[in-house]
């Protein structure tokens, strides 16, 4: 607890109530500081988890947007190819359908 004096290890020591109270206050302050640091660490971990989840969600949205863009481009290319085909082939395909 910090009450013992290292310069007089073999002698009897008397502890005043004020010294005892001061040591208890220091211990309490140290425990509160440890608890505060523990809570801060938990909060940082939680915040990191939230940020990681947000980044994953944004990445998923970007992938989906890119996929939609590729699909739209493919549809556009198919439409352009259909327009470039000679009229006879287009009729045959319509008849087949």
pLDDT at position 31, please? 98
Does the residue 48 lie in any domain?
yes
Does the residue 34 lie in any domain?
yes
Does the residue 1 lie in any domain?
no
Does the residue 32 lie in any domain?
yes
DSSP 1-17: ---S-TT-TTS-----H
Tally of structural domains, the chain:
1
CA angle centred on 64, ends 60 and 61, rounded to 5°: 40
Does the residue 7 lie in any domain?
no
Q: How remote is the C-alpha of 11 from its chain's centroid?
A: 57
Chain segment 8-51, per-residue pLDDT in tens: 666 667 778 998 899 999 999 999 999 999 999 999 999 999 99
Mean pLDDT along residues 78-86 = 84
User: Higher-confidence residue: 75 or 12?
Assistant: 75
Does the residue 6 lie in any domain?
no
Least confident of 39-48, 52-61, 67-76, 78-87: 78-87
Does the residue 22 lie in any domain?
yes
Buried b (16+ CB within 10 A) or exposed e, 27-56: eeeeeeeeeeeeeeeeeeeeeeeeeeeeee
pLDDT at position 13, please? 72
Structure tokens at 61: 């949205």
pLDDT at position 48, please? 98
Does the residue 9 lie in any domain?
no
Q: Is 86 helix (H, G, I), strand (E, B) or coil?
A: coil
Structural domain harbouring 25: 17-96
User: Higher-confidence residue: 80 or 9?
Assistant: 80
């Amino acid at each position: 607890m910090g009450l013992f004096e290292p310069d007089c290890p073999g002698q009897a020591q008397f502890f005043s109530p004020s010294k005892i109270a001061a040591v208890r206050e220091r211990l309490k302050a140290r425990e509160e500081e440890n608890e505060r640091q523990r809570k801060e660490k938990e909060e940082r971990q939680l915040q990191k988890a939230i940020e990681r989840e947000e980044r994953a969600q944004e990445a998923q949205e970007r992938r989906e947007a890119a996929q939609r863009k590729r699909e739209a481009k493919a549809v556009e290319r198919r439409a352009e190819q259909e327009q470039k085909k000679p009229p006879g082939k287009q009729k045959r395909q319509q008849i087949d359908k």
